A and B are shown apart, each in its own frame.
Chain A
Amino acid sequence: MIEESDILRIVEEDILRVLYERKGNLPLESVKAEIKASHSYISKAIEGLLREDLIVIEENFVNLTKNGVGRAKGILEKHLVLEDYFKRTRSEEEAHKIAHILEHYVSQEVIKNIKVLSTFKGEGSPLTKPVLAKEFLITDITIPDNELFERIVSMGIFPGNRIKLTNEIPGGIIVRVKNKKFALDKEIAKDIRVLEHSSVEILRD
């Protein structure tokens, strides 16, 4: 399940992106129509954006502030980097869809890692093979189930992030991602593709 605070942030970022892509000055109603979320989330998100001085509303028309433009640019850039990266292994449509989900979760560090990864030829191996206690860089997640994919992403398991295998258990593995530990089914683990972290590090030099 995805945290409520996450959902709110996602809606906020989607509003910023829509405003940026349409070059602002949109009626409030069409912003609401554009975003796929419940009305209570949208109004909460708009409140939050106003409070953070990212948007302004004048006579029911919404515009980005200077800060808002900056933030929207950042999100769009993330989106493009991710889209480019996933285009290598997926159809354009699919890459676009995945980038839409991931852009809300990844940090700048992850984007940096993605840029490095996109220069790397290998596709990585399933997480089930790697050695215990070694750190790996996630290169791809090939889970077909959309809901499961987003749940895993919301836990911080996505390309560009580091992952460590700490224990093996019957039917699954225990991993550490960003100081959090998870028990993962073997079926899920085999859809997480990784590269040995050190080999990527060498590439960067």
Chain B
Amino acid sequence: MIYSNPKFSKRVRNLKILLIGQPNVGKSSLLNALVGSRVTVSNYPGTTVEVTEARKKIDDTEIEFLDTPGIYSISDRSEEEKVSEKALFEGEANGVIIIADATALERSLYMVLQILEAEMPVIIALNFVEEAEKKGILIDLEKLGKLLNVAVVPINPLTKKGINNLLDSLLGIKSSSKGFGVVYDDHIEGAIEQICLELGKSRLPKRFIALRILEEDEHFYKYLKDRKIIGEVKEKLYEHPKVAEDISINRYGTASFIAEKVTEIIHIEKEERMQDDIDRVLLHKIWGPFITGLSFIVVFGILLYFGNFIQGFLMGLMENLLSSIKVAEHSIITVLLFQGLTGLTAGISIALPYIFLFYLLLGLLEDIGILSRFIVNAERFLKKLGLPGKSFIPLALGLGCTAPATIATRVLSSKKEQFRAASLFAFVPCSSRIAIIMGIVGFYGGIMLAISIFAVLFIAGLIWAFGIKRFVHIERQYLLLELPPYRRPLLKNVLVKSWIRMKDFVYLVIPLLAIGGIAYGILDIYNFTNTVVGPLSPITNWLRLPDVTIIPLVFGFLQKDLTGGMLVSVLGSEVSLVLTPLQIYTFGVATTIGIPCIIALGMLIKEFGFRKAITLTIASIIYGLLFAGLTLRVISFFQV
């Protein structure tokens, strides 16, 4: 191994980089951002305007930055321009950073084109990109870079955004790549050719020097072998007495052509008009509610499809886990552990995928800006039920899980409104109840029967709400809602929002589901579950169901997701042989109307107090049983 001292083995590369740009384009702040606090400032004496110098070392490269005075173009008319020009063409810069203004790209491009003519390695640092976007000016940076054949880096010196990219581009700066060149009118091109023939040797490209001479920059006359040529060229161009002006017009034309090609201007007014047009459809008196309803059907289609998919996967996983416990010794502890895990499994595999997907889709609709329009459409309908439009959100959330939805009623302005909205959770099927409807009623009785349960829930809810409105004085609700603009959703926003909504479910509801499972297990072991069968037989008689079905009806309240399992365990797996479709329907209605479970009850107690919560829960369950029995009798009356 060869010993080497890094100090000697590494060759330090030196890069001299010029910063060029218009006044107030942010050159100084860029220099600060580039070099940081280690700015070493030194002035070039002898001029009234100065060049600031600062150094920065990156790995084995020492970069020397030269900040020049702000100029609008390269010429020798003002003191600033003279200084900048000198730094550009007489110093030995390895490259130039041109700081361009995204809000006035055309003007910045003029100078870019000028410097590219000198065939200097250029990087464009584009400042004020965000401001431009706010003004509706969008710049295609990639296209700009390709057109000019230079690197274009968006920067923000204040937030230091893009500074590292700029430094990376600097380290890779090449002197060989040739940038875009302006093609001038024929008479100018002819003159350039003529002058080029008369130029001596120089570091600078001949075409560039010729252009400078034609633009009457006296600094460049020294490159001519004989100054007489100027007179000769001028004579030839007698038809175009203002060559210098023609050149800048050509250059400006090219600059604006390029700027136009890479810029997209969105008229804010046009944008507003578009937003209003979308609203004309989404808030239309017929299309609005139609689209709102359809969207929710689509959301549920997605939920049922993907939810089932994930559910099947999780179920399989958890069942494997459970069966490994089953074979172990049957002590009380293992049985309880088993029951707790069953409760947990049911919760995680049935409720979690639905709720997560649902909240995700809801968050997406919210972020796009559509949800607030849905609220406006729903308001018309909810107002008839005596509810404010804002109750749309908690009610929609109720389609996930009743417990967090109860907390969400806090968006409503009064406790009264809150309670009225919460009472409708008895009819808004949560994921567990949807699983019962699809998994039990749908599975054993067919999809049409399942859909009819949804319809019955809806009708039962309507009757309930109108009933309340009839007997309780309700203050008039005014529609007053901000409608955020439509926009592309930000995934991070959506995820964060969904997670906030999920949190209550994950931390609160899931552990309680396990406890519910254990509670049911204890009652089951001590044969407690069977003791309710006799005394509560009037209920099953009223519902015309087998007496044992009272067990899932009652104990489903401990853990709703276990209802299906309980039904199978009391009736055997051939449920459809034991129950008629009408009985399956009755069971479905009786078990889905009402405050669904002990967790929801707990949440209601927390929000509204014990008495109100218990009253609502018991009343809604009795209402559900009555409704199930009554509709059963109506149907069987027509069947006979």
Contact = CB atoms under 8 A, between A and B. Distances in A.
A184 B479 CA distance: 5
Interface string B362-392: 0000000000100010011001000000000
Contact of A169 (B283, B476, B482, B485): B283
A190 to B, nearest CB: 11
Contact of A181 (B383, B478, B485): B485
A186 to B, nearest CB: 8
Contacts of A182: 480-483
B285 A170 contact: yes
A121 interface: no
Nearest to B281: A167
A71 B285 CA distance: 48
Contact of A152 (B479, B480, B485): B480
Interface stretch (A5-13, A36-44, A93-101, A171-179): A171-179
A185 B478 contact: yes
Nearest to A157: B480
A183 B479 contact: yes
A151 B480 contact: yes
Nearest to B383: A171
B481 A188 contact: no
Contacts of A172: 376, 479
Contacts of A21: none
Contacts of A1: 413
Given A167-B280, A174-B283, A183 B376 contact: yes
Interface in A150-205: 151-152, 155, 166-167, 169-172, 174, 176, 180-185, 187-188
B276 interface: yes
B480 A169 contact: no
Given A166-B279, A183-B479, A184-B479, A176 B272 contact: yes
Contacts of A183: 283, 372, 376, 379, 479-481, 483
A2 interface: no
B478 A169 contact: no
A152 B481 CA distance: 10
Contacts of A116: none
B521 interface: no
Chain B CB count within 10 A is highest, among A151, A181, A182, A183, for A183
A185 B479 contact: yes
Contact of B478 (A133, A170, A187): A187
A96 B482 CA distance: 29
Contacts of B285: 169-170
Contacts of A151: 480
Given A151-B480, A181-B485, A167 B276 contact: yes
A166 B276 contact: yes
Contacts, number: 60
A64 B280 CA distance: 52
Interface string B273-313: 00110011001010010000000000000000000000000
A35 interface: no
A35 to B, nearest CB: 25
Contacts of A148: 478, 480
Contacts of B383: 171
Contacts of B288: 169
B482 A185 contact: no
Contacts of A180: 482
A170 B276 contact: no
Chain B CB count within 10 A is highest, among A170, A171, A176, for A170
A167 B279 contact: yes
Contacts of A176: 272
B272 A185 contact: no
B411 to A, nearest CB: 9
A167 B283 contact: yes
Contacts of A170: 285, 380
Contacts of B413: 1
Nearest to B376: A183
A149 to B, nearest CB: 11
Given A167-B276, A169-B285, A174 B483 contact: yes
Chain B CB count within 10 A is highest, among A1, A169, A172, A187, for A169
Interface in B214-270: none
Contacts of A152: 480
Contacts of A174: 276, 279, 283, 483
B479 A171 contact: yes
Interface in A79-95: none
Nearest to A176: B272
A185 B383 CA distance: 12
A166 B483 CA distance: 12
Interface in A113-132: none
B4 to A, nearest CB: 57
Nearest to A133: B276
B480 A184 contact: yes
B369 to A, nearest CB: 10
A152 B482 CA distance: 11
A171 B480 CA distance: 11
Contacts of A185: 478-480
Contacts of B280: 167
A166 B480 CA distance: 15
A169 B276 contact: no
Nearest to A172: B479
Contacts of B380: 170-171
B413 to A, nearest CB: 8
A131 B280 CA distance: 15
15 contacts: A155-B482, A170-B285, A171-B380, A174-B283, A174-B483, A180-B482, A181-B484, A182-B480, A182-B483, A183-B372, A183-B480, A183-B483, A184-B479, A184-B480, A188-B478
Given A181-B484, A188-B480, 5 more contacts: A155-B482, A167-B280, A183-B480, A184-B479, A185-B480
Interface of B: 272, 275-276, 279-280, 283, 285, 288, 372, 376, 379-380, 383, 413, 476, 478-485
The 3 closest A-B CB pairs, nearest first, are A185-B479, A181-B483, A185-B478
